[in-house]
Amino acid sequence: MNIESLLKYQKVDEELFKVEQKLANSPYKKKANELASIAKKAQIKSTELEAEAEKLISEIEDLKNKFRTNKAKADEMTAKDIEKMSIEELDSLNALKSKILSNLNVLEKMLQKSAESINHILAEFNKTKKLYDEARTQYAVCKKKIDEDTKALEPEKEKIKKQLASLEGEVDSTLLAEYKKKRNDNIFPVIVPLENDNFCGRCRMELPKVAISRIKEKGVITCEHCKRFVYKK
Ligand SMILES: [Zn+2]
């Protein structure tokens, strides 16, 4: 089979590939990917902080309830008429009272610590939000640059695509369909020469003798390793 037309097609296609590579390797694209990753991480962190805050708020509510209960008990004791109490009763009341006061003291400290934690979470949350907002803003700038570059290269791409379309008719349709499939899988060059009579011209893998013997009849064989078409010069 004559594969000259396919080689001619690939030569033009190489120009299109170069343009595509230029866009794919744009520094803005790399930066945009980094920023998207930063924004995503910030979003996850925000969700985690929210969950932490929620847990802490419920703990604070719990502490406040305990504090109120102990405070009510303390007030109740203070209101008791100690005139009619025996010494033993008075002792036991005082012991209970001091226990409750110590409880209140501990609870107060715990509440204070929780308040500090909440403040810390809030500060972290604000920091994360700022990071997220900054990443989003910078991402938008990068995205705009990428879109501009893409648009600027569009006429060139269209021109090459037209050239390719005009060459398509000369290429065997089955071969062309397979070529396009490989090309879509980001394989380029798609067709490479056989090297030193035995090896794939791209990945240097040794090709089976049986396969090589069929190049003449089929025009091309497929390298099992890199999936490229291999032809004989
Ligand atoms: Zn190969």
pLDDT value at residue 216: 86
C-alpha 5 – ligand 1 centre gap (Å): 21
**pTM for this one?**
0.68
Triad 210, 215, 218: Cα angle to 5°:
115
Q: How confident is the model at residue 1 (pLDDT cuts 50, 70, 90)?
A: low
**161 φ/ψ angles, rounded to the nearest 5 degrees:** -60, -40
C-alpha 123 – ligand 1 centre gap (Å): 56
C-alpha 163 – ligand 1 centre gap (Å): 28
Q: 10 near 189, Cβ under 8 Å?
A: yes
C-alpha 9 – ligand 1 centre gap (Å): 20
Question: Which candidate, 54, 35, 64, 63, places its Cα nearest to that of 125?
Answer: 54
C-alpha 191 – ligand 1 centre gap (Å): 10
- Per-residue 3-state assignment (H helix, E strand, C coil) for 34-61: HHHHHHHHHHHHHHHHHHHHHHHHHHHH
pLDDT value at residue 174: 93
- Other C-beta atoms within 10 Å of 84: how many? 7
C-alpha 3 – ligand 1 centre gap (Å): 18
C-alpha 178 – ligand 1 centre gap (Å): 16
Task: Summarize pLDDT for 133-145 with one digit per residue, the tens.
Answer: 999 999 999 999 9
Q: 228 near 185, Cβ under 8 Å?
A: no
Domains parsed from the chain with CATH numbers: 4-169 (1.10.287.1490), 172-233 (no CATH)
Structure tokens at 166: 């005009």
CA separation, residue 95 to residues 99, 100, 119, 175, 217 (Å): 6, 9, 37, 96, 105
pLDDT value at residue 17: 97
Sheet with 221-222, strands from edge to edge, namely 199-200, 191-195, 229-231, 221-222
C-alpha 6 – ligand 1 centre gap (Å): 18
Task: Summarize pLDDT for 71-111 with one digit per residue, the tens.
Answer: 999 999 888 888 888 999 999 999 999 999 999 999 999 99
C-alpha 7 – ligand 1 centre gap (Å): 17
What whole-number percentage of the chain has pLDDT above 70? 100
Task: Summarize pLDDT for 21-58 with one digit per residue, the tens.
Answer: 999 999 999 999 999 999 999 999 999 999 999 999 99
pLDDT value at residue 77: 87
Task: Summarize pLDDT for 205-218 with one digit per residue, the tens.
Answer: 999 999 999 998 88
C-alpha 231 – ligand 1 centre gap (Å): 11
Query: Alpha-carbon distance 17 to 23, whole Å?
Result: 10
C-alpha 179 – ligand 1 centre gap (Å): 15
Task: Summarize pLDDT for 179-194 with one digit per residue, the tens.
Answer: 999 999 999 999 999 9
C-alpha 229 – ligand 1 centre gap (Å): 8
